[in-house]
Amino acid sequence: MLLMAQLSCSTVLHAATGQEALDYQAQDQDIDLVLLDYNLGADHGLDILQKLKKCDPALPVAMVSGRDEPQVILSALGSGASGFVPKSLAPEDIVFAIQQVIEGGIYVPSSLLDTNPRTTPVEDTQSIQKQLQHLADIARRVIREKNLDICDQADVESEMTSTLNRLVRELQEDRDYLELLAFQDDLTGVANRRLFDERLDQALRNSRRNCTFISLIYLDLDHFKRINDTLGHPAGDALLKKVAQRLVTSVREVDTVARLGGDEFTVILVDVDSIDGLEGHLTRLRNTIKQVITLENGKQCTPSVSIGAALSDGDETAESLMKRADNALYQVKEHGRDHFRIAPINQ
């Protein structure tokens, strides 16, 4: 297998065994891409894939194989691969596949996808990416819920084939239903903590690689417990849903809104141009949330929010960035709430 390191992928590491690949990963924490063979002789590619992803969930891994059956592709996606590259691909298609994976997308052979000739090239690309993300989410959900041991290839294909084929048919027949299978918060529909962790790791990696800035924003609704106690939990749930909707409409599609639990929300902003620009965005975000909300029982409330944000160039861990944003939020709460504070880089 091949491991590409450094920002320009100018260094290529070749691992003859799975253990050698794991050793390379332990030595170099800034690997940009792994090309992993599905069959590794004594080692099974899926087994090595799981170990690589356990050490670094955001590590882009493309599985390479001479086989392209749907159950093989979906078992790779379900184990955490971001792409499946058949060995029969033309060189230019292999380059395209690798670029997709490095940039945070998912690649599988086009033969597995439906395309709509009525869409424009841009719309078609977006549709394909959504289909691919659905495929990956479905496959990971099957493995997670069935608790399958995927160390043995024969067991994978015998136990997963019928389930995965059924799920592929569901993908083709009911896109709306499959939206519910993504990593979403059950109440609000935004990203949950698991998806948030993956998106934050990926955002930090892309920020470091592309020399751009990102911002992590923590938001807590002020005195939310009082709303639950006075108006009831249904009213509180309705408020959380409305706030989530306002957050989603206030950011771009490339950004991420997540609910971590209770009244705790977080936003990951990518490609932030400056602290001034971030301050303007937080001001608009705060004002949007503070607009009057009419709840299901007809009662109205005007929520306020405390916001802590941290700016990063990607040269830190997710834990460090989260701590800085959380500290900024704490300082806002200590000084009366209903405001925001930004922790600059290296604070």
Q: Which residues are catalytic?
A: 263
Q: CA 103, CA 14: separation in Å to the nearest integer? A: 22
Q: Which DSSP symbol is given to 151?
A: S
With contact defined as beta carbons under 8 Å apart, do 60 and 32 qualify? yes
DSSP of 163-201: HHHHHHHHHHH-HHHHHTTSSB-TTT-SB-HHHHHHHHH
DSSP E strands: which ranges in the chain?
2-5, 11-14, 31-37, 39-40, 43-44, 61-65, 83-86, 214-221, 256-261, 264-269, 293-294, 300-301, 305-312, 340-343
DSSP E strands: which ranges in 16-109?
31-37, 39-40, 43-44, 61-65, 83-86
| Distances in whole angstroms, Cα of residue 39 to Cα of each of 23, 65, 127 | 19, 7, 31
With contact defined as beta carbons under 8 Å apart, do 326 and 308 qualify? yes
Of the candidates 34, 41, 32, 44, the one whose C-alpha atom is nearest the C-alpha of residue 14 is 34
